[in-house]
A = this chain, B = another copy of it.
Amino acid sequence: MANAPMTARARARAELVEEIKAAGRRQLREVGASELSLRAVARELGMVSSAVYRYFASRDELLTALLVDAYDALGAAAEEAAADRRGGFEARWVRVATAIRAWAVAHPHEYALLYGSPVPGYHAPGDTVPAAARPPIAALGVVADAVAAGEVDESRTVPIPRALRADLARLRADVPGDLPDEVLVRCLYAWTQIFGGLGFELFGHLHNVVEAYDDLFTHQARRAARLVLQGS
């Protein structure tokens, strides 16, 4: 990328796009997604609000850009953790989960943008899907390795309804390995729990209930790993 023949205008444009996104991220950090104001972004950059519309057709378009960037950042963190093959599969799963939490804790507002209530009136366009898929695919990669290594006990099963099996068949085609239904459904369980737990932690639902968030998360990540690998 960055083809050598890049006009001055194009360079300036690319830089300004980045500056706008950076300012948007700052806004996100300070006031949250639904308070993100294009005018404030423009003010921060010393330009007039209408000029920003040359770069992003609407507030939602800026939000989408930030959304994709955030998914990519989270996905990169998860992939990096998954690529570290030290230790057993439980350790690797816990490492991926911990990396996700670390990113989420470091970027709570961006996390809220990704996994919180959708911004009303805003519908994420389809091009966010690939980025959104990176974190779960990274995690499932670890499980696929474990299955391939024969380290997943598939004997402990819970009955799966027919309609759900159809969904799982489609899902299996889109993720690494050739995970059996029972394993897929365990992963779905563990995966949603991670984000339920993170939501509770970051959105304050455990306020005055739990203080040892790190311990709780690690404990539950281990439990999740056991559930995924051994079904218990």
Which positions in A face B, CB cutoff 8 Å?
A: 31-35, 109, 112-113, 115-121, 124, 129, 132, 156, 158-161, 163-164, 166-167, 170-171, 185, 188-189, 191-197, 199-200, 203-205, 208-212, 215-216, 218-220, 222-224, 226-227, 231-232
Contact = CB atoms under 8 A, between A and B. Distances in A.
A218 to B, nearest CB: 8
Contacts of A166: 211-212
B196 A226 contact: no
Q: Can you list the 9 inter-chain pairs with the closest CB atoms, starting with the nearest?
A: A196-B196, A32-B120, A116-B117, A232-B232, A112-B117, A163-B212, A34-B34, A193-B193, A192-B196
13 contacts: A112-B118, A117-B117, A118-B204, A164-B210, A164-B219, A166-B212, A167-B216, A189-B224, A191-B196, A192-B220, A193-B196, A196-B196, A199-B199
B160 A119 contact: no
- Number of copies of this chain in the oligomer? 2
Nearest to A161: B215
Tell me whether chain A's interface is mostly helix, strand or loop, or mixed.
helix
A204 B159 CA distance: 25
Nearest to A197: B192
Contact of A196 (B129, B158, B197, B219): B197
A103 B212 CA distance: 31
A167 B117 contact: no
A136 to B, nearest CB: 9
Given A113-B117, A116-B117, A170-B209, 10 more contacts: A31-B120, A115-B205, A159-B219, A161-B212, A161-B218, A167-B209, A185-B219, A188-B216, A192-B199, A195-B200
Contacts of A129: 208
B118 A212 contact: no
A215 to B, nearest CB: 4
A219 B161 contact: yes
A74 to B, nearest CB: 13
Contacts of A185: 216, 219-220, 223
